[in-house]
Amino acid sequence: MPSEHSHDHDHSEVPSDLALRVKALESLLVEKGLVDPAALEILIDTYETKVGPRNGAKVVAHAWSDPDYKARLLADGSKAIAEFGFDGRQGKDIVVVENTEQVHNMVVCTLCSCYPWPVLGLPPVWYKASPYRARAVRDPVGVLKDFGVTLPEDVEIRVWDSTAELRYLVLPQRPAGTEGLSEADLAELVTRDSMIGTGLAKQPGAGGTP
Amino acid sequence: MSTPATPALPGQPGDEAGPVFREPWEAQAFALAVELSAAGHFTWNEWAETLGAEIKAAQAAGDPDLGDTYYHHWLAALERLTAEKGLVVPDDRRSRRDAWEQAYRDTPHGRPVELKKRP
């Protein structure tokens, strides 16, 4: 399916025929009371948080383990991610930005909800909501605080605004004390929020949920 | 919180944790089938049979069925079973699809897309 998106038109990106057919079914079924939209939301949320971000977590864990891969990932995110076979139609232009001791990156889409879903699954509800979209640029420190993240004052926060053509994936910092871990164990430490930049990777043995 | 049991089906793309989606509409189609079944509109067996028939028909029509078209069949099965069960009339479905397309074309980028009038 060719993408018709370009910079010089002003209407919303028209979804694919398949997506429109699903939308038609969903809106009719919800209107008739045959499915509960809240239950749908819970189910989709389960998959966006538990399944989708696993792709990204694999990419991050591999980058932590293999310096050559990390260099390729930072040089050309889409191409390096495609090495894993994650290259959905809209995943073609993914830029990976690296968190360091000096820089913390955070991703938003101020216009709508553009999101690197081949690596992160479906965007969480808060990502699509206007409070996050509005505040992420204006008050990133406050937003991070709401997510329970406090960074040292000398860390520069960079906020990246996604577009339909360009999406960002944050490469979080590898937690200390993880030298001996396998890639699979490392991937367990990579949360969805850490790849959006509204969280940090988990500490080994910390457990808990993203 | 518990989610409805979703028995794995042969050929469904996934990993050890469950199904994996390539695009958002796939997850939406997945959720619709699970919820309709959970609400008792059809059994999971009926669903599996319908989906299996769609996949077979697609294979017969030349689809190599490597997993990338899995949710195309899923959606076709969903359209068929909701019609067979009298839940959604195919004509309504088609006109609603066109109404959504028009709504996207008429809505400026960044604004919520809404249907103008409900047919």
A75-117 pLDDT, tens digit each: 999 899 989 877 543 445 889 999 999 999 999 977 655 677 6
From the list A109, A162, A182, A194, the catalytic residue is A109
pLDDT at B8 over 70: no
* A79, A122, A210, B25 from A50: Cα distances, Å: 25, 10, 9, 17
Mean pLDDT (whole number) for B66-85: 88
Angle at Cα A179 formed by Cα A173 and Cα A181, nearest 5°? 95
At A77 the pLDDT is 92
- CA atoms A125, A130, A136, A142: torsion sign: negative
Q: Quote the strand ranges of chain A, DSSP E.
A: 94-98, 103-108, 156-161, 167-171
Q: Per-residue confidence at A123, pLDDT binned at 50, 70, 90?
A: low
Task: Identify residue A53 by its one-letter amino acid code.
Answer: P
- Start-to-end C-alpha separation, chain B: 36
The residues that bridge with A108 in the sheet, in sequence order, are A161
Instruction: Choose the mutation target among A23, A42, A48, A89 for the interface with B, i.e. most B CBs under 10 Å.
Output: A23
Residues of chain A positioned with their CB less than 8 A from the CB of B76:
none
| Arithmetic mean of pLDDT, A112-135 | 72
Q: Does A12 touch chain B (CB under 8 A)?
A: yes
Portions of chain A given CATH number 3.90.330.10: 54-196
In this structure, what DSSP letter does residue A98 have?
E
CA atoms of B111 and B101, how far apart (whole Å) = 15
CB B71 within 8 A of CB B14: no
Local confidence band at A1 (pLDDT 50, 70, 90 cut-offs) = very low
Class of the CATH domain delimited by A54-196 = alpha beta
Which chain A residues contact residue B23 at CB under 8 A? 16, 18-19, 88-90, 117
